[in-house]
Amino acid sequence: MLSKAGVGSRTEARRIIHAGRVKVSGRVVENPDHWVDLERDRVHLDGKPLAAQKKTYLLLYKPAGYLTTRADPEGRPTVYDLLEDLGRWIFPVGRLDRETSGLLILTNDTQFGERLTNPRHGVTKTYLVKTATRLEDAELEKLRRGVVLADGPTLPAEVQRVRDSVKHTWLEITIREGRNRQVRRMVEAVGSKVLKLVRTRIGSIGIGDLPIGRYRELKLDEIRKLLK
For 68-97, how does the pLDDT look when each residue is reduced to its tens digit (9 = 90+)? 988 889 999 999 999 988 777 889 998 899
Buried b / exposed e across 206-215, counting CB within 10 Å, b at 16+? ebeeeeeeeb
Could you confirm whether 37 is annotated as catalytic? no
Show the low-confidence residues of the chain (pLDDT under 70): none
Q: What is the CA radius of gyration of the chain?
A: 21
Task: Show Cβ contacts of residue 224 under 8 Å, excluding neighbours closer than 6 positions.
Answer: none
Measure the CA–CA gap between 10 and 58, rounded to whole angstroms: 20
Measure the CA–CA gap between 60 and 225, rounded to whole angstroms: 18
All domains of the chain in start order, with CATH: 10-49 (3.10.290.10), 57-119+205-227 (3.30.70.580), 124-202 (3.30.70.1560)
The backbone region for 95, taken as left when phi is positive above 0, alpha when psi lies in -120 to 50, beta otherwise, is beta
48-72 pLDDT, tens per residue?
888 777 889 999 999 999 999 888 8
Say which of 33, 46, 81, 97 is annotated catalytic. 97
